[in-house]
Amino acid sequence: MGLTLVEKIAGRHADGLAPNAVVRSGDFISIRPRHVMTHDNTGAVIPKFKQIGATTIADPAQPVFAIDHDIQNTSPENLRNTRRSKRSLTSTASIFIRQALAFHIR
């Protein structure tokens, strides 16, 4: 029987498999995604990152940070929080989406 679409995708992106290994339903594998995303909880993510002793991101192009909640809030406090998150993140990550620009035009 052939592979399902999910098995094909999982096999293509599985980390640490032998060449030509086949992934089947029920297998335990590790996936290394091209991108991982966080959004307005980024402020909570940064301390966790530091808490585990991490000082750098292995692949700076992998994380994507999108500030997409409460974008209508232009209070000084909210804008300050956004700037603080951006400063913290741009030192470690190359992709930062400011206030869901793709979905909200001011």
pLDDT 10s digits, 24-57 = 999 999 988 888 877 766 666 777 777 888 777 7
CB neighbour list of residue 99: distance below 8 Å, 6 or more residues apart: 67, 68, 71, 82
Q: Is 93 found in the same domain as 70?
A: yes
Q: Is 47 found in the same domain as 11?
A: no
Torsion angle, CA of 37/42/46/47, rounded to 10 degrees?
-130
- Has residue 4 got a pLDDT over 90? yes
The pLDDT of residue 105 is 32
| Cross-strand bridge partners of residue 66 | 97
| Tokens linked to 46 | 């940064």
> What gap in Å lies between CA 31 and CA 57, rounded to an integer?
17
Asked whether residue 90 is assigned to any structural domain, the reply reads yes
> What gap in Å lies between CA 105 and CA 71, rounded to an integer?
10
Q: Is 51 found in the same domain as 91?
A: yes
The pLDDT of residue 5 is 95
Share of the chain above pLDDT 70, in %: 76
For the chain, the domain total comes to 2
Q: Is 47 found in the same domain as 10?
A: no
Least confident of 7-11, 40-44, 55-59, 79-83: 40-44
The whole-model pTM stands at: 0.53
Asked whether residue 85 is assigned to any structural domain, the reply reads yes
Residue 46 lies in domain? 36-100
